[in-house]
Amino acid sequence: FFLWLGLLENCQKDGVCRRCSNPAFECVKGNDWYYQCKPKEEAPATAETAAVAAAPDQVTVVAPTEGLEAGGEADEEAEAEQVAEAETEAQVVTPVAEDCDQGNIGDIITEDDWEDLFPYRNDPACKSNKNADGSEIEGGFYEYDKFVSAAKRFPCFLGQGDESTRKKEAAAFLAQISHETTGGWSTAPGGAQSWGLCWKEEVGCEDAVSCAQYCAAGDPCLAAGEELNCPCTAGKTYHGRGPMQLSWNYNYAPAGDALGVDLLNNPELITQDPELAFSTGIYFWMQPRGSIPSAHSVMTGSWTPTQADIAAGRTASNFGTTTNIINGGLECGIPNDYRVEDRVLYFERYAEIFEVDPGTGLRCEDQGSFG
């Protein structure tokens, strides 16, 4: 799973609970991993509560959606519409992109490459190709054709730079989603880095009840100044789903908004539609947010570090910086972090398959987090 900590510009995990910039809010520290901007006692408890930076084991109460339990015909009609929408196959809308030339994805990643990259994705030990009842999904889930279909919705993805740059970006993206969904272990057949795309849902969260901690209270998107709302929906959880393990309500809402799917009310759609699942991963890879650049811009060399980036050691367009974007708050600034090492080993393996030089700066122990 990953935590998008970029929303936490007012409350940051920095050893000290910094005060929130909005005078109507105060910063509350729960423990070393829990910081929350919340309305002061004298302020009304509105939806303008910023995101919670929580560790995987830090439980946060799910905020019910306003009016969900209210009666009346309007509520019944709205509920019926939600059910109908959830039962309709997700239609992914292509976000507006700059002028790019993706060309033929097969020139960068072939179907044979896919089999070499992910030989155990449908192994009986993995659950990515399983339905909720344990039965196998006919044709698999994380398959090459679904990846290609999703990629085509993002013309700039693997569509900028020369062939070497595009293959290097492909290796980086696939390495990151492989780490997020890895099923490998040290003595695994083929090696630990042959087991990417083993899961489509965070392990232990499949019952959609056990992992309610991925709910940032209030409306963190509104509090962060974004032009959409993302309060948690009662009865829904926002644990890691899909190849990038999209997590937290403040990530589900904007991803769904960009892709034309209501993921805030129907987060489970990600595990039901493989093209949508890949699309959420590519969306996260392509989308800058606030002061955080897109991983795509980093790998293609189009990112220009700010003075704040330079001061934090974030100065190069390299694989280590993409790790910082994905989960820097938990993994960067730490020497020899085992999670970072797993990401690097995946990247090096894939770079070899694509016959490109992985370059330098593969780790982020010398970088401060973007969050």
Closest CA to 351 of 169, 136, 97: 169
Determine contact, residues 53/35, Cβ cutoff 8 Å.
Answer: yes
Residue owning tokens 């439980």? 59
Identify the active-site residue in 9, 143, 180, 202.
Answer: 180
Beta bridge partners of 29: 35
HSE-CB at 165 with a 13 A cutoff on CA atoms is: 16
Residue owning tokens 């940032």? 216
- Eight-class DSSP state of 161: S
What is the spatial distance between Cα 77 and Cα 34, in angstroms, rounded to a whole number? 38
Determine contact, residues 280/37, Cβ cutoff 8 Å.
Answer: no
What is the spatial distance between Cα 172 and Cα 148, in angstroms, rounded to a whole number? 16
Answer yes or no: 41 catalytic: no
By the 10 Å C-beta count (0-12 exposed, 13-18 middle, 19+ buried), 86 is classed as: middle
Q: What is the DSSP string of 130-160?
A: B-TTSPBPTT-SS-HHHHHHHHTT-TTTT-S
Written as six digits, the tokens of 340 are: 């970072």
What is the spatial distance between Cα 17 and Cα 36, in angstroms, rounded to a whole number? 9
Phi-psi region of 298 (alpha: psi -120 to 50; beta: other; left: phi over 0): alpha
Residue owning tokens 């997700």? 90
- The set of catalytic residues is 180
